[in-house]
Amino acid sequence: MSSIQVNLETIAALIRDAEAKAGRKEGSVTLLAVSKFHPRESVLDAIAAGQMSFGENRVQEAFEKFSGMTALHPHVALHIIGTLQRNKAAKAVSVASCIESIDRLEILSELEKQCAKINKLMKIFFEYHTGEATKSGFKTYDELCKAVQFCADGNAPHLVPSGFMTMAPFTDDEKKVRASFIMLRETAQKLRAQFPSLPLSELSMGMSGDYRIAIEEGSTQVRIGTAIFGARA
């Protein structure tokens, strides 16, 4: 086995362990393998070990690495997790099956337009800014709520609002990290109650350094790069 495959096994076991310790059902947390800055060979190595979901920050890099991938591996899913520029929406839509970094209203109409063109359904997560050290995501509840409302009103029939994403602040202060995850969970609960017609069941939170805390606080998907693929150059 390659080191990537060993790491994947280790992480899978640690996730199962964290689920059990948090009193969560086994298998309630899925793993998104974040392959940014790592080559296509590393992705293929992970696929050979059974990993099917991948995350990339930059559309151009994702496109170069993943275009044509589903022809070879039909079950591979690519999630875009970095800020999406309007002029990259078409490319993102062509290669991804989920955009986790919805951070403003205007990107929704552009994504809808591009998805409609190729008649593709796209999962989306709303990214919420929950920690002082990170910059991305909707900054206020009001803006976030307006974006969810936009979808609930039927303005984006090709977009499937599937949940929420956040990045905790980069700090050793566990309290701050936990507070960030709690904030996302509580915000999601509020919005699910307000928009019962939308799926919104996913909570994408937790990275290599903080996924145990995220799982304790209700994460349904952790996004892990370094602990699988090693340090980024």
Q: How far is CA 229 from CA 15, 34, 45, 55, in A?
A: 17, 8, 10, 12
CB of 158 or CB of 224, closer to ligand PLP: 224
Whole-angstrom distance, CA of residue 124 vs CA of residue 121: 10
Residues 6+ away with beta carbon under 8 Å from 76: 47, 52, 53, 54, 66, 69, 70
Q: 45: helix, coil or strand?
A: helix
Query: Cβ of residue 208: shortest distance to ligand PLP, in angstroms?
Result: 3
Which segment (61-69, 182-190, 193-201, 224-232) binds ligand PLP by CB under 6 A? 224-232
Query: Cβ of residue 131: shortest distance to ligand PLP, in angstroms?
Result: 12
- Applying CB under 6 A, among 144, 167, 213, 214 the residue interacting with ligand PLP is 167
How many residues bind ligand PLP (CB under 6 A)? The answer is 14
- Applying CB under 6 A, among 81, 95, 188, 205 the residue interacting with ligand PLP is 81
CB of 192 or CB of 230, closer to ligand PLP: 230
| Cβ neighbours, 10 Å, residue 26 | 9
| Residue 223 interacts with ligand PLP (CB under 6 A): yes or no | yes
